[in-house]
Chain A
Amino acid sequence: MILNGQKILITGASRGIGKACAQRCANEGARIVLVARNENALEDVRRSLPGNGHIYIAADLLDPESCVPNIFKTACADGIKLTGMVHAAGIAHSFPVKTVSMKSMLESFTINYFSFMMLVRHFIQKKNSDGGSIVAVSSVASIAGWQGLSVYGGTKGALNASTKSLAIELADKGFRFNTVLPSNIKTDMLASITSVLDEAGIHEIEKKQPLGFGTPMDVANSVLFLLNPASKFITGTNLVVDGGYTAI
Chain B
Amino acid sequence: MTDEKKIELLAELFEVEESAIIPEKKLSELKWDSMNMLGLIALFKGELDIILPAAKLRTFTTVNDILQEMK
A residues adjacent to B (C-beta < 8 A): 93-96, 98-101, 103-104, 147-148, 193, 195-197, 201
Contact = CB atoms under 8 A, between A and B. Distances in A.
Would you call the interface of chain B mostly helix, strand, loop, or mixed?
helix
A201 B38 CA distance: 14
Interface of B: 12-13, 15, 34-39, 41-43, 45-46, 54, 57-58
B13 A94 contact: no
B38 A148 contact: yes
Contact of A94 (B12, B38, B43, B46): B38
B35 A96 contact: yes
A94 B15 CA distance: 19
Q: Is the interface of A mostly helix, strand, loop or mixed?
A: loop
B13 A196 contact: no
17 contacts: A95-B38, A95-B41, A98-B15, A99-B13, A99-B43, A101-B42, A101-B46, A103-B46, A104-B42, A104-B46, A148-B35, A196-B37, A196-B54, A196-B57, A196-B58, A197-B34, A201-B34
A16 B38 CA distance: 22
Nearest to B44: A99
A93 B51 CA distance: 13
Contacts of B46: 99, 101, 103-104
A49 B25 CA distance: 54
Contacts of B15: 98
